[in-house]
A and B are shown apart, each in its own frame.
Chain A
Amino acid sequence: DAKTTQPPSMDCAEGRAANLPCNHSTISGNEYVYWYRQIHSQGPQYIIHGLKNNETNEMASLIITEDRKSSTLILPHATLRDTAVYYCIVQSGSRLTFGEGTQLTVNP
């Protein structure tokens, strides 16, 4: 599985968009990009995934660059409840490896 690189922490004001970057320069053609988040003391929660095209669901948007070497998770209107560790993962097949993620803190 390709390695990902994320900033260790980010801050965002409540109501503003939170843009979380992820680098995955060694991604291969059949690997998907997944995003999860983990609120303190809970199991991680799936957010969104994509292969080539940008994706949007009720939780977030995922922007993948044309060369697929990086992506950005966008929370359009961050709330205090979005404070969590966000993990970016690239995967094909059965085995998923999580990195250290980005601690997003949404401030009032």
Chain B
Amino acid sequence: SQTIHQWPATLVQPVGSPLSLECTVEGTSNPNLYWYRQAAGRGLQLLFYSVGIGQISSEVPQNLSASRPQDRQFILSSKKLLLSDSGFYLCAWSVLSTAYSPLHFGNGTRLTVT
């Protein structure tokens, strides 16, 4: 069966510090991978998605970046965090090849920038 892992679960970082959140998927090959962010009490905002290694689509211009160094690994990064980067970050995957495919989410990372 397929599983998705995100870490860390919670993170407190000072303004201006770097960020690296990692997400890995097991049990499937060549998945679509996604990073979403959710501000407190709000809906999910799509940040990045990837349909293959090295292929990243950015949805929102910001100081965040994403990379996909391996087929089932998706990394969200920032060189310098802003207060507005605080939120709940969710990684998700779906099957690439089908016309319809649900998203499967990880348990998320709650980031607080102080």
Of B32, B57, B59, B102, chain A has the most CB atoms within 10 Å of the CB of B102
A98, B44: Cβ atoms closer than 8 Å: yes
Which residues of the other chain, B, contact A99 by a CB distance below 8 angstroms?
Answer: 43
A42, B104: Cβ atoms closer than 8 Å: no
A30 to chain B, nearest CB (A): 8
The answer to whether B99 has its CB under 8 Å from any CB of chain A is yes
**A32-B100, A44-B105 known; A87+B43 contact, CB < 8 A:** yes
Within 8 Å by CB of B108, from A43, A51, A94, A100, lies A43
B43, A43: Cβ atoms closer than 8 Å: no
Chain A: interface secondary structure? loop
Tally of contact residues, B, Cβ under 8 A = 27
Q: Which of A49-108 contact B (CB under 8 A)?
A: 49, 51, 87, 92, 94-101
- Chain B residue nearest to A96 (CB atoms) is B103
In angstroms, Cα B34 to Cα A95, docked, is 9
- Chain A residue nearest to B106 (CB atoms) is A43
In angstroms, Cα B57 to Cα A13, docked, is 43
A95, B49: Cβ atoms closer than 8 Å: yes
Which residues of the other chain, B, contact A46 by a CB distance below 8 angstroms?
Answer: 102-104
